[in-house]
Chain A
Amino acid sequence: MKNRTTVERKSERELVVTRTFDAPARIVFEAWTKPDLFKRWWGSKSMGMSLQSCEMDVRTGGGYRLVFNNGMAFFGKYIEVTPPSRLVWTNDEGGDGGPVTTVTFEEKGGKTLLTMHELYPSKEALDAAGTGAADGMGELFGELDEFLVTLGASGGRA
């Protein structure tokens, strides 16, 4: 049976994905840091996407560049590499709006809990990534109220 993948919008700026793997952390870590292994799973069969090329200089300050078969390129820099427990990288293809991705590998009883945490620079950046509607009408109204209060306040002063 496959282990369950969960996704949660932890805060306005954070998305968290978790999954347990039936292997020690060093093995899971290896599959995330060796290009030939990484290439085998980072695509998406259902979306018809596979990695055409995968360059990874996995060390603090090293860069990576992933190119999919449709030409889309993703790149950034590793800002922390601590085998076999922690990887942190930037996502620079989208300019300043890209998140910082932190992946932790926690081994327990021969299994590994993987947590992938994406921290966006702002709520707007995460919204723009596709969850624009995540907060529903409630928050939209809330923000609008704030916006109107600000407008009202500055209008009053003028």
Chain B
Amino acid sequence: MVQYTNARLDASFAALADVTRRGVLEQLGRAEASITDLAEKFNMTLTGMKKHVGVLEKAGLVITEKVGRVRTCKVGPDRLEEATAWLEKYRQLWAERFDELDRVIEDLKQSEKSAGRKQRE
């Protein structure tokens, strides 16, 4: 888990350490585009753009899909969403534990009550 996260962060940083790739990511944040579109927009050769998209794709920042002869690129799974999902999972674990803890507490309250009754009797 730790290594996976770190490797991904490393890949992300490497991918983002380039002004063109940051531009491509911003562009794809607005709308999907083909590699040809991107190459034109950034005034690059197709081969050059393919390389950049490849780096972004490896880092999980961009996903591509080939439909017919056109490869369409879009931003990868939203990391914010991924993070929120993790936090929600963490919350669920604690909610589950605390619901169980409620039962333990209920038992403790009950035994305290009956102990109190016995003392009064």
Contact = CB atoms under 8 A, between A and B. Distances in A.
A5 B91 contact: yes
Q: Which 5 A-B pairs have the closest CB atoms?
A: A136-B80, A133-B79, A41-B100, A133-B83, A134-B83
B90 A7 contact: yes
B102 A21 contact: yes
A155 interface: no
Nearest to A7: B91
B6 A128 contact: yes
A47 B91 CA distance: 14
Interface in B79-108: 79-80, 82-83, 86-88, 90-105, 108
B31 interface: no
B8 interface: yes
Contacts of B101: 21, 28, 31, 41
Contacts of B22: 141
B92 to A, nearest CB: 8
Main secondary structure of the interface of A (DSSP, over half): mixed
Contacts of A141: 16, 22
A30 B108 contact: yes
A116 B90 CA distance: 13
A144 interface: yes
Interface in A127-150: 127-137, 140-141, 144, 147-148
Contact of B87 (A2, A7, A43, A148): A7
A118 B80 CA distance: 21
B93 A47 contact: yes
A43 B91 CA distance: 14
A123 to B, nearest CB: 11
Contact of A41 (B8, B83, B97): B97
Nearest to B6: A128
A133 B94 contact: no
B120 to A, nearest CB: 19
Given A5-B98, A137-B80, A144-B17, A132 B8 contact: yes
B80 A133 contact: yes
A37 interface: yes
B75 to A, nearest CB: 9
Contact of A31 (B1, B83, B93, B108): B108
B115 to A, nearest CB: 13
A68 to B, nearest CB: 13
Given A46-B96, A127-B9, A136 B79 contact: yes
